[in-house]
Structure 1
Amino acid sequence: MIGELPRIADAEKVAPKDARALSKLFFDRLRTAEEGTPEYQYARNTLIELNVSLVRFAAGRFRNRPEDMQDIVQVGTIGLIKAIDRFDLSREVEFTTFAIPTIIGEIKRSFRDTSWAVHVPRSLQERRIALAQANEALAQRLDHAPTTAELADHMGLTCEQVVEGIVAGNGYTAGSLDITAGESPDESASSLVDRLGADDPGMEGVENLHALKPLLAELGERDRTILRMRFGQEMTQSEIGAELGVSQMHVSRLLSRIIRRLRAGMLTQV
């Protein structure tokens, strides 16, 4: 006995009916015990052991998923612990009624947060699971890894649908760009991110020139001459004005008009 609580040697072997009655006793003590004390820890740990069968029951709903059942049970146990910490006897609700939705919610949240690295349609996610199950069943029956055609025939799908499901499975996990990518033992270790190409800063200039070419052809001879003197020969506005016999202010207005026209033409091509 710890205080007035019974010592339970193996709580997981307690019958469900007795577990419910004992849980009420331990919840009542958990509510009054000081957190962090041996009594509190004993009550909380025993409640987990008494109700771990709820986790296995909830986890059974997901037995057809590709995740390992032990991993699902571990996640469900976290949900059980959260349910124990949040449960209040004064609500007059059975702990089972409160705990199972909490456990299932924790498992589903884990699937949502960790399963698929890349979003794919639900139909393809389900096809991936069906493919994994069919692949395992056929491998045992045929004694070799099934071909795409064999999987398609077994599942009533086309080969294209099987390939689509296999490719969709690539979105289930994603490798880190920080992993080393050495191709030989002698090669110095470097991460994948170090090998990714970068944008060539000159490409934007080439693209802009390509887009400008037809716009420049639409300009009058004087406008093209002004642009060539200003940007090709790098003449000042005063020098351009002296060459054309106009004022610097007039050259400035002409340049502004020409550039606005070219900019408008570029924007319509985006």
Structure 2
Amino acid sequence: MKTFQKPLSAAEEAHYIQALQEGNSDEAAAAKEILIERNLRLVAHIAKKYQNVDEDMEDLISIGTIGLIKAISSFDAGKGKLSTYASRCIDNELLMLLRSKKKSRGEVSLFEPIGTDKEGNEINLLDIMEHEQVDITEQMALYENTKKLAKLLGEVLTDREREIICLRYGLLTGKEVTQREIGELLNISRSYVSRIEKKALNKLREKFEER
């Protein structure tokens, strides 16, 4: 499968949506093209849900892209996040394809098997329709940001700062520790823990935004 461009940041997405809705014809056309290109990865992720329903993946992506284009053309801020709204539109377009295929061979049943999942279990249209809508773009962005922060922890913080941040937010154990508990553990005052934590967070934020 082809490699797709990375999703837009929240600020970039807002900029292009505004250009699409408020810019002149050239600006709107350019913004629409960028919004489509930078959301094709979302189409591919959603299309994977349907890869075992006897349809070519490239065809699924093509149909899903139609749903993406419709979403971008009809989106407004009142509909929530673009990725969430687009996911529903892409899903709807793919479900319409499957229904039309079924209708060409007879009546559609939501419970009729249309393929199997990766484990070999039968899936039907109802399974797909009830599948929880996941904000895939947000998940990918969270994953990338988490990797970036993990790297910065070792690059920009002192040993003491890193220890306090890891304890405070449960980065190693999954259990958050209060400033008072950290102070008792390290034999320093709670206020000193607070100052170190604040300084460390500011350093992380500054370096994170630079990158």
| TM-score scaled by length of structure 2 | 0.48
Bigger Rg over Cα: 1
Which structure has more RCO (C-alpha within 8 Å, separation ≥ 6)?
Answer: 2
